[in-house]
Amino acid sequence: MPAGKPGRPLFLASVVSAAEATAALAAGAEIIDCKDPSAGALGALPHETVRSIVETVAGRVPVSATIGDLPPDPHRLCAAAAGMAATGVDLVKVGFFAGGEPEAAIAALGRSDMGRVRLVGLLLADRDPDFGLVEAMGRARFAGVMLDTATKDGRALPDVMPRRDIGRFIASARTTGLFVGLAGALRAEHIEMLGELMPDLMGFRGALCSGKLREGPLEEGAARAIATALASLGRRSAARHAILEAAP
C-alpha cells in the first residue's frame, strides 16, 4: 500500500484518460487516480475508461479510482465499490458526505468481497467531517483515508480547515494504522506546509491542468513541476535530518 517516501509524501495525480495517465507517469506521478472532475468532487469515470487507464499503467504504479458523489447508503456504496473494483484498480476511493448511515456503510464495505482491491475512505474538510469515522474505517480494514474538499470553488484544503485540525486528522489515521493522504485544490505552494505534517501522499488535479482548472487537460510540464517540488521537499528534509544527526 502507498506510504510516503523518506521526508516527503507520494505524488497522486488525478487523470481522466489513458493519455493523461501516460503524461502523469512521464512527469513522475507515483499513484494514478481515476476521477471525472466534471461529474462532481469525486466524480466517477466510466468503467471502460478506468480499465483503459489500468492497462496503460500496466502495474508500474498503484491505480486508484473514485466511485462518485454518493450518499452514505450501505447498499449503494457497496455496489458502486464492487463495480469499480472489477476494473482492475488497486484502490477504490469512497467519499463520505453528510447524512445517511456512514458507520453502517463503512462496516458493510468492510464485509464486502473486493478481492485484492483495498478501500480508501475520503472525508470532506468543508462539510463538517466526522473524524470518528476514521476509527470505523480501521475496524473495517480499510487501507487508508484521505481528506479532500467537496466544493471546488478555488479554495484549497488549508483555506477551509486550520492546519491544527489537518494535523489532528493525520494523527487519528496514524493511530488507527491507515495510510493517510491530503487533497483538495492543492498547489505547489501548499507542499512544504502540508508536507511538514507528514501525510503519506498528496493528491493533485487542478495544479496539473491548463489554466490551473481541474476540468482542463492535464499538462505534463505542470505535473513535472509538482513532482519537482515534492522531490525538493524530500531533499530539504534529508538535509535537516543529516544536520541533526551530526550535531553533538
CA–CA separation, 163 and 158 (whole Å): 7
Give 64's strand partners: 33, 91
Cβ-contact 34, 61 below 8 angstroms: no
Q: How far apart (Å, rounded) are the C-alpha atoms in residues 186 and 204? A: 6
CA proximity to 11, closest of 61, 54, 50, 56:
61
- Cα–Cα distance, 243 to 234 (Å, whole number): 14
State the catalytic residues: 35, 93
Cβ-contact 36, 205 below 8 angstroms:
no
